[in-house]
Chains A and B, each alone.
Chain A
Amino acid sequence: MNLRRTRLYIPGNNPHLVENAGLYGADCVILDLEDSVPLDQKFDARILVKYSLRNVDFGRSEKWVRINSPDTPFWKADLEEVLPYVDVVNVPKVESYEDVEMISEIMDEIEDKHGVEKRKIVPIIETLKGLTNAREIANHPRVVAMAWGGEDLTAELGIPKKKALILDHVRAEIVIASKSHGKMALDTVYSNIRDEEGLFEYARRARYMGFDGVGVLHPNQVEVVHRAFRPEEKDIEEAKKIVEAAEKAMKEGKGVISLNGRMIDKPVLERARKILAFAEVD
């Protein structure tokens, strides 16, 4: 199971930050071509990101690139430059299934040209239209997870982001939309990089809301989030017993898994496996 508890944003035009991106143990590294890159550096940035993907050791981190949004003139050139070398394409401001399909078709062409496997997409839902269509968007075969961002949404609604009660509903909708199609749900960033305690509570809340991870802006945030996503010891022990019982039942050719006289059904087994993955137990 791929863990995506942390996805660390790195500005795509800063070689000094890019070259160290794999050192922090984040589950995913996002080389950003969007908001952190000024307009007059877009061209240089996508070439730098291509070279970094080919040369830098990103360790165990999944390699993501956040391209520019489909309503800009940059996203196709971003894909043409970097797609063969990435694991996941992170697409901002996705508003419909058709947006994903349009991007997917260009990805098909580039993948065919370079003879590489299909790359994954993680759309970012940032508008009311996107939120309305989130359940359809999550159903696209390339989509492996959905993320969201609150700036545009709260601007559309004319409310300050920090006081926007509606964002809890948005979070819930992202989780429901993603999970109803078996995809991961990823919460947005906690922007106060000095507030470790606040980040821990934020990540814990994200976890209990049903999210599989949160975005991080600073390497110091990685360990805190991983700790927040680590299951309780008693849950890990219980999960180990369930998985062992399942393995034993499979060896013995039994169709039914039981533990201490209790039948274990498929969702319980899946949850146990997920707990062990989050606990990083093989």
Chain B
Amino acid sequence: MVEAGTLEKGDAHVVITNADKREIAVKSKLERIYGDAIRKTVDEMTSHIVGKIYVEDMGALDWVIRARIEAAIRKFRGEEQ
């Protein structure tokens, strides 16, 4: 399991865990307005990943979510800190 980001206001927390199939779950404070857009971003950025991807959005802007997803993907690939 790898994670990136925080649960602070304006941030997003991304967790990727090993799994046999691809699965995306998104929880957002602003689900009704941004839920679909966030799911689309997550799907696009993680299309090559087989695993469970969980994103909890704390009201983050799009670039913040993207930054946190990239950090999680790179950690999942084993990039050293």
Contact = CB atoms under 8 A, between A and B. Distances in A.
Given A15-B61, A16-B9, A43 B75 contact: yes
Contact of A50 (B10, B11, B67): B67
Contacts of A135: none
A121 B77 CA distance: 33
Interface string B1-18: 000111011110000000
Given A44-B5, A52-B63, A16 B10 contact: yes
Interface in B40-81: 60-64, 66-68, 70-71, 74-75, 79, 81
Contacts of A133: none
A55 interface: yes
Nearest to A42: B81
A37 to B, nearest CB: 12
Contacts of A56: 63
Q: Report the interface size class on chain A.
A: 10 to 19
B67 A16 contact: no
B80 to A, nearest CB: 9
A43 B67 contact: no
Contacts of A44: 4-5, 67-68, 71
A54 B70 CA distance: 14
A15 B60 contact: yes
Contact of A54 (B4, B9, B61, B63): B63
Contacts of B79: 43
Interface in A48-82: 48, 50-52, 54-56
B81 A48 contact: no
B71 A43 contact: yes
B41 to A, nearest CB: 12
Interface of A: 13-16, 19, 42-44, 47-48, 50-52, 54-56
17 contacts: A14-B8, A15-B8, A15-B10, A15-B11, A15-B60, A15-B61, A16-B10, A19-B10, A19-B61, A43-B71, A44-B4, A47-B4, A47-B70, A48-B68, A51-B67, A55-B63, A56-B63
Interface of B: 4-6, 8-11, 60-64, 66-68, 70-71, 74-75, 79, 81
